[in-house]
């Protein structure tokens, strides 16, 4: 869905702020969401959770079709959207093998999108290039939901992260949120930090020097007036935080293998570490994890990462219903 | 679905002409379709469009299962069938990874088909070898729809092409249809030319010498008594045609790269060229395109190729409903 | 679904015996099934068949979601489960590209399973490693159905095999069942042999020396008190058997190509051989076949292998409905 001037020429640019109802809107960036929008969509997600817990699914989107267009694989995200659409009574066209098909014949993204929107009512797009969703939304008349565009944004992840904090702790204002690990390349922490600036929170960024939060995010957080602190050591904050958001330090980020080996164990959340954490706090992770959170804390009630996954389905149900005008 | 003599021996051969109702029939070739059949199925497609525009979907095929068997990838065609079946209320078994699975263990096509038909009510088959659908239909007791068999036929594409002409221009008789580009290897133009012989049309074939329409199609068109003309130059006909059907000149067709480069720009539809076209005419393309139609004419109301894609869904809805006896 | 002690610690080990109702149980091994369980599930499968034959599908699992998690491709098995879930009115998250996605990022099976169960109501798992389903079931709170774990078990295959014998011949007690071909590596014959020990049957194992039934299966059959006989020559038993269960001798099992060539034709079921078989008997095969059963007997009413495939759908419908408490 794009803004089209009366002369038929598409207006390119940043995705617009969400309307209150979301109907017919694209979901491209967390920057579209006001605090009011967030409250609204979290309320819808709460309703979705209640429906699923009570009866498993609804017929809200019966007869509606979602084209799930994944230019790169993401089991977690695509499964979550397929489950969300199914539990809303709708159907899915799963297009997971995009790179193997017409794209390899050289078709442009706009043509692919315009073709697929002729079959579907809403599109979800995962693409390796930054800005792909913006381009798709520009050409599509149907709503486009960004499911990750390279190192760009992954707004539904950020929304489910924030929704998890709200669900687990009952509020967002007043909390101390620490983000741990790879803050430089971690798309999810950038988006979450941006969303959190709308709330009265204290943030701590815990990372090795070479993986510090990028300047633009830092500046944005600072400009919001929120309290922000940086440290190398998770021990320094563990006793005070309400939310410990852990991310993976990916081997492939390091040109030098020795450098990777030297930092990879610095940010591991162990059972010992958790003994120094507050009794009422949560550990989050976007998953997959590879050792940065010990399996030994999976049964700790503060380990919220699997509930976080489940929340992804409710948020996506809420967004799908909302952009199709059925929330 | 095959003709089986009373002695249980299958009769091999050309797919039979369609019965008026289509129920239980295979869709293998455009040669099965009389003008009466075409009128019928276009009428059903019109109804499908009306339903989708009004309410999105129906429950006509609720509880029915389509096995979508793709031995080679085709996002467009498979997505269109999945959307069609979904909007009819039915379910799909998407079998896109055929080459990775039992086929690689050496299983024969008939065994694969006989297995899959034990799960499904109707089969759609895409296969790289000419005649694969005929073989499949011969062994299957359930209806088989050919979704492209190598350089052979792709009848649902031809039907949606003809349906688009009918929908866009309100008639087929009396029109001047030009086909442009790779007419030698272009499966879609062969089938469309054959279908058009049933109507009172004038045809012009526009291609480089080495990509001229094959002799058998030429002879068939001539035998039908239709007016047919060949040219190298699209400028010669652009001012007169009602339908400009453009196809892609594929690089891989040329052994000699220089030869490809010398012709590839001869058949490009530009905004300038469109200025010399009639005001009421349509530009069609089976997509994907790679430069043979300028993006600058996408918003020209005469650019019908995205509507053509959408029509593919309605035609496939019509065919699925018809062969399952629910049209 | 796992047994969780009140202290929250999971108990690892063999899958427990099925409860009479199956509700909430995992299906991991044929060893879970008592004769009473088999009678029950075959009865449900009979009902499923009746529903499909009469009206195509039911709404029994409407609103329920199956995650179909395939770490290795298996068109036949995955299609059968997708069809089963569709005909029960439920939805499927097809996860066929597991190896391409988060698993390649190094995620553990338990994390993948715990994530996917947060979206789904039941999980079907195909995995190349023995014991994968046991691990999955241990971590999942939702029911897990083993769809094959390497050279381990494939219980739904064994159940559909036994169900086919029951359906085709009206009973299992009193029959003479011969298993032919690769009995050493053939997972299906091991499981079937184990299930058959619960019935009053006579078994004959027909294989080349290097592909004889493994000692542990032999011992288990003998310990059951069932009559068992081994031979190299299918001609020796063909005239007496009620069930001829044929398996493929896979080329890849042989280090020495010449050895493969020397045995590969010894166990081919031809029309001539079938002339010496009883009039009321059945030929079964788990498919795919590659020459070990002549196509010439496909129309012989004793050739039960395609009906066997269809039975797979009914058994899987029965199991899905049962573990979700809707049978």
Task: Give the pLDDT confidence of C272-285 residue by residue, as tens digits.
Answer: 999 999 999 999 99
Helix then strand then coil, in percent of chain B rounded to 5, is 40, 15, 45
Whose structure tokens read 């967004």?
A319
Residue B100 has pLDDT above 50, yes or no: no
- Considering CB atoms only, which of C8, C64, C101 is closest to A75? C101
Residue C257 has pLDDT above 60, yes or no: yes
Residue C11 has pLDDT above 70, yes or no: no
The confidence band for B209, taking pLDDT boundaries of 50, 70 and 90, is confident
Quote the distance between the C-alpha of residue C324 and its chain's center: 20
Q: What pLDDT is attached to residue A196?
A: 97
What is the residue-wise DSSP string for C142-189?
S-EEEEEETTS--HHHHHHHHHHHHHHHS-STT-EEEEES-TTT-HHH
What residues in B contact A64, CB-CB < 8 Å? Answer: 56-57
Distance CA A318, CA A327 (A): 7
What is the residue-wise DSSP string for C22-68?
-TT--B--GGG--HHHHHHHHHHHHHHHHHHHHHS---TTTT-EEEE
> Strands B144-149 and B227-231: what pairing?
unpaired
Mean pLDDT confidence for B297-312: 97
Instruction: Please indicate whether, in this complex, the C-beta atoms of B119 and C289 are within 8 angstroms of each other.
Output: no
| C324's tokens | 């979700």
Does any CB of chain B come closer than 8 Å to the CB of residue A102? yes
> Among A62-76, C98-112, C248-262, which stretch is predicted with the lowest mean pLDDT?
C98-112
Does any CB of chain C come closer than 8 Å to the CB of residue B184? no
Instruction: Please indicate whether, in this complex, the C-beta atoms of A97 and B94 are within 8 angstroms of each other.
Output: no
Q: Which of A207-211, B71-75, B174-178 shows the highest mean pLDDT?
A: B174-178
**Is residue C132 within 8 Å of C105, Cβ to Cβ?**
no
Count CB pairs under 8 A between chains A and C. Answer: 84
pLDDT above 70 coverage of chain A, percent: 92
Cross-sheet strand order for the sheet of A202-206: A227-231, A202-206, A176-180, A243-246, A282-284
Catalytic residue, from A49, A64, A87, A126: name it. A126
What residues in C contact A306, CB-CB < 8 Å? Answer: 114-115, 118
CA-CA distances (angstroms) from residue B164 to A114, A302, B134, C269?
17, 59, 26, 52
Q: What pLDDT is attached to residue A98?
A: 64
Q: What pLDDT is attached to residue C60?
A: 97
Q: What pLDDT is attached to residue B97?
A: 61
Q: Which of residues 197-256 of C touch A (CB under 8 A)?
A: none
The confidence band for B8, taking pLDDT boundaries of 50, 70 and 90, is very low
Instruction: Please indicate whether, in this complex, the C-beta atoms of A63 and B55 are within 8 angstroms of each other.
Output: yes
The minimum CA-CA distance between C82 and chain B, rounded to whole Å, is: 6
The ipTM value here is: 0.91
Interface test with B, best of C51, C80, C86 (most B CBs within 10 A): C86
Does any CB of chain C come closer than 8 Å to the CB of residue A96? yes
Task: Give the pLDDT confidence of B264-286 residue by residue, as tens digits.
Answer: 777 899 999 999 999 999 999 99
Residue C10 has pLDDT above 70, yes or no: no
The minimum CA-CA distance between C1 and chain B, rounded to whole Å, is: 27
Domains of chain C (ranges; CATH) run 30-153+310-323 (3.40.50.1370), 156-305 (3.40.50.1370)
The confidence band for A97, taking pLDDT boundaries of 50, 70 and 90, is low
Q: Give the residue among B248, B201, B250, B265 at the shortest CA–CA distance from B229.
A: B201
Instruction: Please indicate whether, in this complex, the C-beta atoms of B79 and A102 are within 8 angstroms of each other.
Output: no
Q: Which residues pair with B126 in a beta bridge?
A: B70
The minimum CA-CA distance between C323 and chain B, rounded to whole Å, is: 21
Does any CB of chain A come closer than 8 Å to the CB of residue B260? no
Q: What is the mean pLDDT of chain B?
A: 90
- From C73, which residue of chain B is nearest by alpha-carbon distance? B101
**Is residue A281 within 8 Å of A177, Cβ to Cβ?**
no
Q: What pLDDT is attached to residue C103?
A: 46
Q: Give the residue among B74, B219, B61 at the shortest CA–CA distance from B146.
A: B74
Task: Give the pLDDT confidence of B46-99 residue by residue, as tens digits.
Answer: 999 999 999 999 999 999 999 999 998 888 999 999 999 999 999 999 987 665
Chains touching chain A through at least 3 C-beta pairs below 8 angstroms are B, C
Give the CA radius of gyration of chain A: 20
Q: What pLDDT is attached to residue C320?
A: 98
Mean pLDDT confidence for B290-319: 96
Does any CB of chain B come closer than 8 Å to the CB of residue C287? yes
Active-site annotation holds for B126: yes
Task: Give the pLDDT confidence of A243-298 residue by residue, as tens digits.
Answer: 999 998 877 777 888 888 877 777 899 999 999 999 999 999 999 888 899 999 99
């Amino acid at each position: 869905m794009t803004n089209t001037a009366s002369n038929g020429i598409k207006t390119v640019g940043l995705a617009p702020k969400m309307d209150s109802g979301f109907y017919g809107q694209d979901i491209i960036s967390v920057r579209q969401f006001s605090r009011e929008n967030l409250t609204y969509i979290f309320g819808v997600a709460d309703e979705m959770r209640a429906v699923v817990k009570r009866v498993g699914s609804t017929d809200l989107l019966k007869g509606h079709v979602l084209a799930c267009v994944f230019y790169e694989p993401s089991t977690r995200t695509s499964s979550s959207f397929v489950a969300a659409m199914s539990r809303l009574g709708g159907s899915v066209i799963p297009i997971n093998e995009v790179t193997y098909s017409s794209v390899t014949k050289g078709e442009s993204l706009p043509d692919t999108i315009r073709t697929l929107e002729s079959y579907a009512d809403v599109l979800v797009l995962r693409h390796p290039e930054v800005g792909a969703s913006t381009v798709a939304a520009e050409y599509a008349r149907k709503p486009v939901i960004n499911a990750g565009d390279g190192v760009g944004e992954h707004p539904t992840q950020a929304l489910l992260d924030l929704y998890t904090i709200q669900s687990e702790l009952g509020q967002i204002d007043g909390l101390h949120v620490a983000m741990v690990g790879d803050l430089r390349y971690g798309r999810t922490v950038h988006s979450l930090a941006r969303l959190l600036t709308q709330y009265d929170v204290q943030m701590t960024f815990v990372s090795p020097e070479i993986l510090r939060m990028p300047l633009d995010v830092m500046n944005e957080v600072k400009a919001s007036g929120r309290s922000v602190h940086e440290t190398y050591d998770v021990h320094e904050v563990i006793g005070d935080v309400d939310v410990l958001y852990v991310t993976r330090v990916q081997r492939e980020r390091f040109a030098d293998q020795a450098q990777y080996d030297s930092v990879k164990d610095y940010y591991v959340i162990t059972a010992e570490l958790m003994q120094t954490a507050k009794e009422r706090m949560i550990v989050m992770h976007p998953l997959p994890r590879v050792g940065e959170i010990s399996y030994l804390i999976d049964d700790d009630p503060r380990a919220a990462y699997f509930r976080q996954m489940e929340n992804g389905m409710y948020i996506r149900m809420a967004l799908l219903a909302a952009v199709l005008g059925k929330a």
